[in-house]
Amino acid sequence: MLTTGLVAIDATILATAVPTIVKDLGGFAQFPWLFSIYLLAQAVSVPVYAKLADTLGRKPIVLVGIGLFLLGSVLCGLAWSMPALIAFRAIQGLGAGAVQPMAVTIAGDIYTVVERAKVQGYLASVWAVSSVVGPTLGGLFSQFLSWRWIFFVNIPLCVLAAVMLLRAFHESVEPRRHRIDFLGAGLLTGALSLLILAVLEGGQAWAWNSPASIGAFGLGTVLLVGFGFAERRAAEPVLPLWVFRRHLLLSSALVSVGVGAILIGLTSFVPTYLEGALGTAPLVAGLALAALTIGWPISASLSGRLYLRIGFRSTALIGMVFVMLGVVALAATSGSPSVYIVAASCFVVGLGLGLVATPTLIAAQSSVEWDERGVVTGANLFSRSVGSAVGVAIFGAVANGIFLAAGPTVSRASTAYPATVEAASGAVFLAVVITAAFTVAAAVSMPRTPPRNRPV
């Protein structure tokens, strides 16, 4: 619960401070990189940590993750420029890549599917508390102190989480030799980095049809294909391709891609939308965003009873109905900004995501044994991270296109004009609706798999 809290608070505390950060450091159009670089580092490291966890055990990996997250937080708090802050966010992302999946994997190890229905309520309570604490702290620090404290606040949390894990968590791991798939990890990192770079900088640093753009897309695709071939030959692949050959694991991974993109689309643009279009205070914008992360743990804590009754697929489909209602309402009303409508829409989306993310992950976990569960959990959360990383890049490209069309003064400023922010946010919310439709299709494709009522 403590380690989950690190990622949970970080998921919301930064978004409310973004307008203040870019006002201080400059470069309004660069702010999507604060999310992209973090999510990219998290995404590419999750499979590596997951594989190591299945060979070395969960405890050393989660402790390494906490250490990296702590280091990144300290450096972010000391950042002197936007490029430096972006670079230090990458270190934070490398830590989060170990923290989040290891917490979920440990819960999968020590509880049965039925027990996890109850335990999920405890884990969901962490998100419930963090959903209020994160945006509130982000708004308070930005409005009354300094945005740097949104990173420094992680220091005591990291220390406390590490100490508690050292004292309370004990595992028995059979030592065995392992081979790290450095080639696969390198190819995957290079491919995703180039593709995200191409999406975010297309139309900004270079034209979409320029040699630089075509080269980035082309080389990224080549590296991604090379990664596929490398994984087929690797003794211990960083992301085993068998994960994506099983129907349940593939469909649940596609759902996770959509969940990640929807989540980052709202958490990264809702505060900017409210602060830029309406001029609301960071604290108010943070509380509106908190409605999303309040709805998520409420429904996640109740989802166990539901999927034990009607199955994982049906629960996820019910959740996607709520998600579609929320994002459509948000996009439809974006031309008439209202804090109350945004908060209500986010709350409905959060309710839906709680019924989608948890059941699909547990469905994937419960279909394998201990020695595969780390990889499966890592692959599922890797998919969510990729969805978030690619999603924020695409949404950022959509928004930056509108900023650029408004003129170089707006695109390079530390702030943007309200009408431009409103138009850009509306376009992003429409893109989130399209993403939600894709996620519905992925949820429909899930097999009807009842939960297995046995120790796993």
Collapsing DSSP to helix, strand or coil, 2 comes out as helix
In the structure encoding, which two tokens stand for residue 361, read together?
Answer: 């992950």
> Cα–Cα distances in Å, from 230 out to 47, 137, 255, 430?
15, 44, 25, 37
In this prediction, residue 304 carries a pLDDT of 78
Q: What is the CATH number of domain 1-169?
A: 1.20.1250.20
- Kindly state which CATH superfamily the domain 237-455 is placed in: MFS general substrate transporter like domains (1.20.1250.20)
Residues of the chain with pLDDT under 50: 410-415, 451-456
Ordered by start, the domain boundaries in the chain are 1-169, 181-235, 237-455
Asked whether this chain's domains 1-169 and 237-455 adopt the same fold, the reply is yes
* Per-residue confidence (pLDDT) for residue 200, from 0 to 100: 67
- C-alpha distances out from residue 184 to 11, 113, 187, 248, 377, Å: 28, 32, 5, 24, 18
Type of residue found at 75: L
Residue 424 has a pLDDT of: 82
- Full DSSP string of 201-222: HBTTTB-TTSHHHHHHHHHHHH
State residue 413's pLDDT score: 45
Task: Give pTM, 2 decimals.
Answer: 0.73
| pLDDT tens digits along 297-339 | 788 778 877 888 888 888 989 999 999 999 999 999 888 878 8
Distance CA(347)–CA(135), nearest Å, equals 14
Distance CA 104, CA 164 (A): 16
**Percent above pLDDT 70 for the chain:** 87
